[in-house]
Structure formats: C-alpha cells, structure tokens
Chains A and B, each alone.
Chain A
Amino acid sequence: MTTVALKPATMAQALTRALRDAMAADPTVHVMGEDVGTLGGVFRVTDGLAKEFGEDRCTDTPLAEAGILGTAVGMAMYGLRPVVEMQFDAFAYPAFEQLISHVSRMRNRTRGAMPLPITIRVPYGGGIGGVEHHSDSSEAYYMATPGLHVVTPATVADAYGLLRASIASDDPVVFLEPKRLYWSKDTWNPEEPTPVDPIGRAVVRRPGRSATLITYGPSLPVCLEAAEAARAEGWDLEVVDLRSLVPFDDETVCASVRRTGRALVVHESGGYGGPGGEIAARVTERCFHHLEAPVLRVAGFDIPYPPPMLERHHLPGVDRILDAVGRLQWEADN
C-alpha cells in the first residue's frame, strides 16, 4: 500500500481543482459569469481557467445574472454543461425567474426530452464582514423549488467531490459555497482526490450518544466546536452534516436521532420558513416515539441580514448552540 502525501489545501483551492478537472475531463463543461475570466473570480475560485482552457470555455459575461443563467439554459439545450457563478448570494435574485420558471422544470415540461445539466455556484452566508446583499443564506428559496438539487459542502474534500458530482449531474444543481469556509484548510491530496458519496447522502462528522446536531455548510465547524465544548457539561453530541438539502437524507438523519433521542437543527438562515422547520417536521414525523424532547432549532434571527458590525449577534455561535442543547433536557424540566 502506497501512502499519499496529504497537504493542507483550502476549500477555494479544492473548488478550483474540481472545475479544472471537470473541464479537462469533459470538453462540454463551460464556466461562465461576471469576473470569472481574467480576474479568476472575486474569490479566485476560477483562477487560471480562462488561461488554461480559453475564453470560450471560461467566459467573462456581461453583468447580468438573468442573462448569465438564461443563456446557460440555451447552451445546455445545445448539449453543453454550463457552470455559472453568481458571485454573491443576493446577486442571484435577478436570475430567479430563469431558475424557477425554466431551469428547474425544463426536464419535466418536456417529458424528459430536454434535461438541463447546469451547475449554479452561489457563494452564500455571512461571517466575512460583507456589506448589505453579500451575506444572505438563500437555501430555503432553492429548496422550495422542485426540480433543483441543492448541495452545500462543509469540508475541503466535499467541496471537490460534490462539485465534480454536481457538474456530472444531468439535472440542475444549486451549489451553495459557504464563503466563510473558502479559506478553511484541511489535509487533502489534490493529486488523488478521494471520491465522495453521491449527491443526497448526509454524513456523521462526529459520533455521539446524547443528542444529534443536524447542520450543513458554514455551521458545521461551529457545531463541531460546540460538541467539544459540551463535553464539559457531560453531553456527548453527534454531529450530522447534511451536505445535500435536496434530496434530503432522511435515513442518516433519522438513524442518528433514533440513537440519541434528541435533535437540534443549526443553520444561519432565518428560522421562520427556513430549512430547520422542514427538517424538524421530518424528524418528528419519522422518529416521534424515539424523541425525548421536541426537536429544537438554532437559526439566524428572522431579520434582513444585519450590517457586518452586528453580524456576530445574528449568527448562531457556540454559546447559543450550547444553550439550546441545555433545553434538550426536556424531561427534567417538565
């Protein structure tokens, strides 16, 4: 058995590598968006692609999100696999009509004759000190649209594997990139990236016995930190990383909750009408008799994303998670 040298790599580097490998493997893969060419993207995720593959395959488009996604639809209709970048979460909103009225339903409306293999990369979430319209968590909108896959990596290895899987998918995928994890490092072998599970599988990142934290994307490191801190309180927390919001992995989530008997959903986006409500309902419907306490949620407040100098009060942090974990002591209080 040969040992491979694992080097530290950032999530952004893994994403770049995924794009590059996908473009090299398949000449129909085209990267497009504002600033993706010469500049290499404002987060440098598309760095070097225009130079390596030419401007026809990594294209700086006019500044128009509906136009970027709308033309990508036509390109996909002709047999290409466009990977579009939306630059920032809230910049994707002008493209919503294309996404919802066409991208998500083209396969269905044509009875399978015209699938659209488009990957829509959306850097999302807060914690980077961005000003207004640069920190939204818009996953609930995407989740509510049938026909879209919605995935979000939380680790360097997943960033590579899930992006490759998304580009290879014959269906449109909204690929949510937790932008505050772009610079998170992990040991990872870029020369021989480990394959990941197909889209739709959650993973237990930390086994535990006393409660399950269900989370994804930018909140995963926070949950892992909270789980470490909770040991002092005698809690042995299991942490499940969803990785895919659509399809949803009921199996992994419910298996965990049935083991622990308690569940807490953690995400940045607002709680009301947010992903946590859906997840809590699914867990309750399936695991009611195993639950020792109501499924709780720790989410962002139900407010427009706050200005950067106040965002730390909005984002779910370790203390707020630990406080909620304490409230999972339901039977003791009642």
Chain B
Amino acid sequence: MTVMEQRGAYRPTPPPAWQPRTDPAPLLPDASPYRVLGTEAAAQADPALLRRLYAELVRGRRYNAQATALTKQGRLAVYPSTTGQEACEVAAALVLQEQDWLFPSYRDTLAAVARGLDPVQALTLLRGDWHTGYDPREHRIAPLSTPLATQLPHAVGLAHAARLKGDDVVALAMVGDGGTSEGDFHEALNFAAVWQAPVVFLVQNNGFAISVPLAKQTAAPSLAHKAVGYGMPGRLVDGNDAVAVHEVLGDAVRHAREGGGPTLVEAITYRIEAHTNADDATRYRGDTEVEAWRAHDPIALLEHELTERGLIDEDGIKAARDAAETMAAELRAHMNQDPVLDPMDLFADVYAEPTPQLREQREQLAAELAAEREGTH
C-alpha cells in the first residue's frame, strides 16, 4: 500500500528532532582584530621573540625593496611586493617547526625566505629561469602557487597524509583576500574540517585583489567568519602586529598539532605597493588611505615597543639594518649574474621516462642548437 492509498490512516508527525553538529559560538571570530602591540599585553611578550621578529621584519622590508628594484633593472620579470605585510610573512614562517610545511601563494616569497630558503632560489619563478628553484621536500616549502587558492587542498592532503602516517606535521597555507572567493578555498576548508586535518589557513587580507576592493569580493562580516560554516574556528588578527600574528598563528598551529583540527586566521593588513610592478595602484585607491596604513607600519609598531621597553637602542636598530643591507647586497650580486640555462632542460622531467614523441622533439632541438653553434642558422 502506498502512502497515497493509506491517506486516511496517515497522521502527520513532526520531523525527527534536529540538533546542530557543532555549537557555532566558540568558532566565531572576535568582533575586532586581536592586537598585542600598543596594549598592556605587550609587556608580557618575550623579549627574545620581539627582537627576533624585529630583525626578520627589517630584513623582510629590505628584501621587498631590493626585489622591487630588481624588476626596474629588468632582473626580475615581476615581483608582487609584501611591503607593509611583512609581519604576516615572517610570523607564518617562524611559528612552524622544522618538520612542518609551508604552502605559499605567489606573493609569499618572503615567507619562504624567512623560513630559511635561499633568497636567490626563492626568486627563480619571478626571474623566469625556472618555475621552482628549490626542492620542496628539502625545505618543506611547496612551490609558490600562481593559480589562486589551488595550493590550499594540497596543504590539506599533505597534512592528512602525515597524520595517517602518525607524523607530527602541521601545514600552514597562505592565501589572499581575493583567493577566498575561489572554489578551491571552499573545498580545501571543507575537506580540512571533515578530516580534522592539522592545517592552518592564513588569509592575508590586504584590501585588494589587484584592483578589486574587499567590499566587492565578499559580503561576509569578515573573512574569518567563513570558518564557522565549515565547522572550524575563525580568528581575526591585526596583520601589522607581528607579535599578535605570531601568537594567533602559534595557537592555531598548536591546536592543529594536538589533534584539534584546522583554523582559519584572517590577518587584516595592507599592500603598500601596487599588486606588482606592472600595476598602477593610483587608478583604484587614494593617497590618504595608503598614508593611513603607512602610519600603522609593522616595523614602526614593533620598534616602538622595543624602544619603550628598553629592549633595543640605536646600535641595535643599526645592527638589524646592517644585516638586512648585507642580505640585499648578496642578493643583488647574485641576481646581477645572468643565469646559465640549458635549452635541453625543456624536455627534462616532463615524465619519469620521456615519451617517444618527446625524444624526437629533443633530437630536433639538439639539431637546431648544433646548427646555431655552427652559425648555419
């Protein structure tokens, strides 16, 4: 007998009771970004950590300036600067242990360098001599990802695999505010939460996806709010406060390491330079806004704290700047040498074993190169 036939006997009842799977309240981000510098909490911050962060920020700022200068000299094809965002870059690198993995976006060269990657190796993608100039496994830094947010599911898969093997590994994946609109962002966060993978997602909200401001990117109250829908905590932090970013990311990494699953951290920061050297930022934003953010500079904020507490003096500041200058000079010297490229590398590592078709094409190029050398071409 079908439901229709038994209509007379059928008594409507309420549907089975519904319960939310997770209480959303603890997942919600605070109403305003977490800050340490300029508050009473700053007095509790470890002096050694403050000094280390400061040295890395100064080095990072100099690195950004040097790389931007190299684009003007034609030594780099392109450079997406993180000037103004150094606190996020540096903190992301410093909260990780050696066995952990970093998954940077194309803008996060500085995070890779702060993690210890050779500055020249970090720039091959942007110079154009090869896509990834380092062994990701050696440094536990995934290739800089140019497609947006596509590296986030990789971080989830790697962290999941490590956990299956019983290894103590956390993956920290970086993405911009624009990247949070991509489908891969959604799928990565969803997989991470369902699998309770030891991953930390760091969104650097620097205000613009090239020219598109955040208001045209999302209607969410904050990007950190997106976490709640996936069932993971969302945290808001002042992205120019290196101590706060380090603390929030540190908590998230610890939480992941202890089996607590993923966290989404949104760092509110600002891109002082244009998207890249090829972009004209004056077309979409005014000087007033940029100057307001310059006044909230990550280095000045930390320098003020260090000076106030007597943790650094003029000599200390000079020492940090000198160290950064040395790094810049070395980088310049290396980048001013033309890279030696072998055209035959075009056919290397497409497959473990070249296909017969690639072997033929390899021979063709070899013949062309031989003809070039003999001057017959």
The interface residues of chain A lying within 8 Å CB-to-CB of B135 are: 110, 113-114
Cβ-closest chain B residue relative to A147: B350
**Given contacts A77-B142, A111-B348, A66 and B136 within 8 Å (CB-CB):** no
Of the candidate stretches B62-70, B73-81, B180-188, B203-211, the one touching chain A is: B180-188
- Whether the pair B156, A171 counts as a contact (CB closer than 8 A) is no
The interface residues of chain A lying within 8 Å CB-to-CB of B351 are: 107, 147, 149, 171
Cβ-closest chain B residue relative to A104: B350
**Given contacts A102-B150, A246-B355, A74 and B158 within 8 Å (CB-CB):** yes
- Whether the pair A70, B136 counts as a contact (CB closer than 8 A) is no
- Whether the pair A70, B153 counts as a contact (CB closer than 8 A) is yes
The interface residues of chain B lying within 8 Å CB-to-CB of A329 are: none
Residue of A56, A70, A169, A171 near B184 (CB, 8 A) is: A70
Cβ-closest chain A residue relative to B103: A74
Residue of B136, B161, B194, B356 near A80 (CB, 8 A) is: B161
Cβ-closest chain B residue relative to A69: B153
**Given contacts A64-B187, A97-B147, A109 and B153 within 8 Å (CB-CB):** no
- Whether the pair A62, B136 counts as a contact (CB closer than 8 A) is no
In whole angstroms, what is the CA distance A62 to B143 when docked? 26
The interface residues of chain A lying within 8 Å CB-to-CB of B160 are: 71, 74-75
B154-189 residues with Cβ-Cβ distance < 8 A to A are 154-162, 164-165, 171, 183-184, 187-188
Q: Quote the shortest CB–CB distance from A35 to chain B (angstroms).
A: 15
B111-168 residues with Cβ-Cβ distance < 8 A to A are 130-132, 135-138, 142-143, 147, 150, 152-162, 164-165
Q: Quote the shortest CB–CB distance from B97 to chain A (angstroms).
A: 16
Residue of B142, B150, B352, B356 near A70 (CB, 8 A) is: B150
The interface residues of chain B lying within 8 Å CB-to-CB of A56 are: 164
B191 within 8 A of A: yes
B357 within 8 A of A: yes
The interface residues of chain A lying within 8 Å CB-to-CB of B352 are: 107, 115, 169-171
B349 within 8 A of A: yes
The interface residues of chain A lying within 8 Å CB-to-CB of B155 are: 74
A61 within 8 A of B: yes
- Whether the pair B348, A112 counts as a contact (CB closer than 8 A) is yes
Number of interface residues of B (CB under 8 A): 41
Residue of B137, B150, B152 near A113 (CB, 8 A) is: B137
- Whether the pair A247, B356 counts as a contact (CB closer than 8 A) is yes
- Whether the pair A66, B187 counts as a contact (CB closer than 8 A) is yes
The interface residues of chain A lying within 8 Å CB-to-CB of B191 are: 61-62, 64, 67, 71
- Whether the pair B350, A146 counts as a contact (CB closer than 8 A) is yes
In whole angstroms, what is the CA distance A108 to B352 when docked? 10
A182 within 8 A of B: no
- Whether the pair B132, A111 counts as a contact (CB closer than 8 A) is yes
Query: Most chain-B Cβ atoms within 10 A of its Cβ — which of A77, A101, A246, A250?
Result: A77
B238-268 residues with Cβ-Cβ distance < 8 A to A are none
- Whether the pair A70, B154 counts as a contact (CB closer than 8 A) is yes
- Whether the pair A98, B153 counts as a contact (CB closer than 8 A) is yes
The interface residues of chain B lying within 8 Å CB-to-CB of A105 are: 131
Query: Most chain-A Cβ atoms within 10 A of its Cβ — which of B138, B157, B356?
Result: B157
The interface residues of chain A lying within 8 Å CB-to-CB of B85 are: none
A103-130 residues with Cβ-Cβ distance < 8 A to B are 105-115
The interface residues of chain B lying within 8 Å CB-to-CB of A106 are: 143
In whole angstroms, what is the CA distance A64 to B193 when docked? 14
B83 within 8 A of A: no
- Whether the pair B350, A71 counts as a contact (CB closer than 8 A) is no
The interface residues of chain B lying within 8 Å CB-to-CB of A69 are: 153
- Whether the pair B156, A71 counts as a contact (CB closer than 8 A) is yes
**Given contacts A73-B153, A110-B136, A78 and B161 within 8 Å (CB-CB):** yes
- Whether the pair A70, B164 counts as a contact (CB closer than 8 A) is no
A72 within 8 A of B: yes
In whole angstroms, what is the CA distance A114 to B150 when docked? 17
Q: Quote the shortest CB–CB distance from B124 to chain A (angstroms).
A: 10
A307 within 8 A of B: no
B109 within 8 A of A: no
The interface residues of chain A lying within 8 Å CB-to-CB of B348 are: 108, 111-112
Q: Quote the shortest CB–CB distance from A298 to chain B (angstroms).
A: 24
Q: Quote the shortest CB–CB distance from B137 to chain A (angstroms).
A: 6
A326 within 8 A of B: no
- Whether the pair A74, B154 counts as a contact (CB closer than 8 A) is yes
In whole angstroms, what is the CA distance A76 to B351 when docked? 16
The interface residues of chain A lying within 8 Å CB-to-CB of B136 are: 77, 110, 113-114
A94 within 8 A of B: yes
In whole angstroms, what is the CA distance A50 to B152 when docked? 27
In whole angstroms, what is the CA distance A173 to B159 when docked? 23
- Whether the pair A77, B357 counts as a contact (CB closer than 8 A) is no
- Whether the pair A110, B143 counts as a contact (CB closer than 8 A) is yes
The interface residues of chain A lying within 8 Å CB-to-CB of B153 are: 66-67, 69-71, 73-74, 98
B190 within 8 A of A: yes
- Whether the pair B188, A67 counts as a contact (CB closer than 8 A) is yes
In whole angstroms, what is the CA distance A80 to B161 when docked? 7
The interface residues of chain B lying within 8 Å CB-to-CB of A304 are: none
The interface residues of chain A lying within 8 Å CB-to-CB of B350 are: 107-108, 146-147
- Whether the pair B150, A72 counts as a contact (CB closer than 8 A) is no
Residue of B154, B187, B188 near A102 (CB, 8 A) is: B154
Given A98-B184, A110-B135, 13 additional A-B pairs, CB 8 A: A62-B191, A69-B153, A70-B150, A70-B184, A71-B156, A71-B191, A73-B157, A77-B158, A102-B147, A102-B154, A113-B138, A146-B350, A251-B356
Ordered by A's residue number, 12 sampled pairs between the chains whose C-beta atoms are within 8 Å are: A56-B164, A62-B187, A70-B152, A70-B154, A70-B156, A70-B157, A71-B160, A73-B153, A76-B157, A108-B131, A110-B349, A112-B349
Smallest CB-CB A-B distances: 8 pairs: A74-B157, A70-B153, A67-B187, A71-B157, A247-B355, A74-B158, A109-B131, A78-B161
Binding site for B on A (CB under 8 A): 56, 61-62, 64, 66-67, 69-80, 82, 94, 97-98, 101-102, 105-115, 146-147, 149, 169-171, 200, 246-248, 250-251
